[in-house]
Structure 1
Amino acid sequence: MTIGTAHTADGDSVLVRHERAVAVISFNRPRVLNAMTLGMARAYAGALREADADPAVRAVVVTGEGRGFCAGADLSVLGGGAEEIRRFLPPREDLPDLALRLRKPVVAAVNGPVAGIGFAYLLGSDIRYAASDASISTSFARMGLVAEYGVSWLLPRVIGTPHAMDLLLSGRTVGATEAARIGLVHHVTDPGELLARAVDHAAELAAACSPASLAAIKAQVYADLERTRTEALAGALTRMDASFDGPDLTEALAARAERRPPVFPPLSPR
């Protein structure tokens, strides 16, 4: 296991460690429940890109240090007026939907309060774990804001329009049990087991699944959200035909015949 720190321009950081082909990225401002600064947002985006480019990394886990996942934008930013808030906005390429564009699966481990931009980071992950004592809120309506960072497009696709309207219009806080019931998170665990369970899940994807398949399926699913059924089927047939000639199918069949784990090649750097 290796551990590193990605420092930001304003002295905050995200932590990055590697375990079993998984990059674990942690927001690291625990004293303020990992409230986001622009430098921290850029550091997180940079850590995601590094994980995506590293052939040794096959999956990503994102979590928060201390008692929180990410409680939203830093209050000093919000209290600085409109121009200060505009300066806070990450550049387009660093926005929370970056995780959706990664080739590798991103697993969130929600260890405490989530709100605002933290909610967008949560929603941008592919698989979501939550500690049983986690609390999640969109918070936008209660701050006089709109549904930010593309949440209005993605949230109804994740949990359905009725549940999305409830969370967005009320800005209320939901616990992990309700979040699981409406499909906002996939798994609820004891707080002490949260990160280990999320890393285990990511490590299983890394060990058992073809990186090329994971990348293709992830791109396929998110692209198909904007396509008709006919377009999605046509795209699937094209992708299927290409996969039949791929080396990973050959390796998977050989591994099954020989009763051994498959050895899939890593993704090449972009």
Structure 2
Amino acid sequence: MAYTEILYDVTDAVATVTLNRPDRLNAWTTTMETEVRAAMARAAEDAAVRVILLTGAGRGFCAGADMDLLNNIQGGGERRGPPPAFDLTARPDFQMQYGYFPSIPKPVIAAVNGPAAGLGMIMALYCDMRFAADSAVFTTAFSRRGLIAEHGISWLLPRLVGPARAMDLMFSARKVDAAEALRIGLVDRAVPGGQLMGEVRAYAADLAANVSPRSLKVMKRQLWDAQFQTLAEATAIGNAEMLQSFRSADFREGVAHFVEKRPARFTGA
């Protein structure tokens, strides 16, 4: 499809999805939602893509829902039903309107280059990891708009920062800078703004070149699903997956390239 509100690029096995409404701090619209979903499906299905990055154009990541969209909802319009499930084989928890990122069989990394508010913050939280520029600012925003904990953030946020901090961030909707976000576990790395894309691309390129895509796919599913499992269940699943990995071409390659002291040539098989 032709994109009007995002950019899509694939370089060295890394797909970059860029929210592209910089004049509105990449505020979220229904068009953007459709295009991001299509781009994620495209990257998920492309065998040449091994890692996905999500970022924003200009000085913002995503300022949340566009005010025109909110005004339309307030006026009784723009109440669509949820889209079809992204992956029908995924657990129902990961078939939600915005909560489908965990069902994408490849790592999705957010490069938060500026403000991430409301729904924009939620989209960053659904990514598997978050790298933030030192200019990034996070706010839940909802309580200051008369809204509530939307789209699963009441489940996501406490798992990252703990229940009490999640209460603080939800109740106050205060702004959290990159340094605090790193300290409380909201992001995984905070770097100077000019270095953000270089650092996140280097990390993604290392995964794409040197890590088994089959391992990434299986481990991502294990880690997200484990949050609904007991230790015994997670152990049993891990043991079964280990037996399957022993039979894989990537396991044979993993041993061979280590013994032969050469770069890996993983295929994902």
Deviations, residues 198-232 of structure 1 (Å, cap 9, x unaligned): 11111111111100100000000110100111111
Contact 2:105 2:220 in 1 (8 A): yes
Name the SS for the 2:47 alignment partner: coil
Residue 230 of structure 1 aligns with an amino acid whose one-letter code is A
Check 1:135–1:120 CA distance in 2 against 1; reply closer, same or farther (3 A cut). Answer: same
Name the SS for the 2:7 alignment partner: strand
Once superposed, what is the RMSD of the aligned Cα atoms? 1.5
Residue 120 of structure 2 aligns with an amino acid whose one-letter code is G
Deviations, residues 21-53 of structure 1 (Å, cap 9, x unaligned): 000110000000000110111100100010000
Identity of aligned residues (%): 43
Structure 1, unaligned runs of 5 or more: none
Distance 1:27 1:178 in 2: 25
Moved more, 252-261 or 95-104: 95-104
Residue 170 of structure 2 aligns with an amino acid whose one-letter code is L
What residue in structure 1 maps to residue 246 of structure 2?
244
Check 1:265–1:111 CA distance in 2 against 1; reply closer, same or farther (3 A cut). Answer: same
Distance 1:121 1:90 in 2: 16
Check 1:221–1:207 CA distance in 2 against 1; reply closer, same or farther (3 A cut). Answer: same
How far off is 1:102 after superposition? Answer: 0.4
Deviations, residues 70-117 of structure 1 (Å, cap 9, x unaligned): 000110111221533534x75264733221110000111111111111
Name the SS for the 1:107 alignment partner: strand
Distance 1:246 1:266 in 2: 9
Residue 180 of structure 1 aligns with an amino acid whose one-letter code is L
How far off is 1:20 after superposition? Answer: 1.2
What residue in structure 1 maps to residue 45 of structure 2?
53
Distance 2:263 2:165 in 1: 41
What residue in structure 1 maps to residue 83 of structure 2?
91
Distance 1:183 1:158 in 2: 6
Distance 1:66 1:133 in 2: 12
Alignment of 1:71-220 (within 5 A): 71-80=63-72, 81=74, 83-84=76-77, 86-87=79-80, 91=83, 93=85, 95-220=97-222
How far off is 1:161 after superposition? Answer: 1.3
Name the SS for the 1:86 alignment partner: coil
Distance 1:203 1:153 in 2: 30
Residue 43 of structure 1 aligns with an amino acid whose one-letter code is E
Name the SS for the 2:203 alignment partner: helix
Name the SS for the 2:117 alignment partner: coil
What residue in structure 1 maps to residue 236 of structure 2?
234
Residue 244 of structure 1 aligns with an amino acid whose one-letter code is F
Contact 1:58 1:266 in 2 (8 A): no
- Which portions of structure 1, spanning 4 or more consecutive aligned residues, are displaced by more than 4 angstroms? none
Distance 1:131 1:92 in 2: 34
Distance 2:111 2:11 in 1: 15
Deviations, residues 174-207 of structure 1 (Å, cap 9, x unaligned): 0000000011101111111111211111111111
Residue 122 of structure 1 aligns with an amino acid whose one-letter code is A
How far off is 1:159 after superposition? Answer: 1.9
1:68 and 2:60 correspond? yes
1:17 and 2:9 correspond? yes
Contact 1:6 1:16 in 2 (8 A): no
What residue in structure 2 maps to residue 257 of structure 1?
259
Residue 207 of structure 2 aligns with an amino acid whose one-letter code is L
TM-score for the superposition, normalised by structure 1: 0.91
Paired residue total: 258
Name the SS for the 1:76 alignment partner: helix
Distance 2:49 2:142 in 1: 34
TM-score for the superposition, normalised by structure 2: 0.92
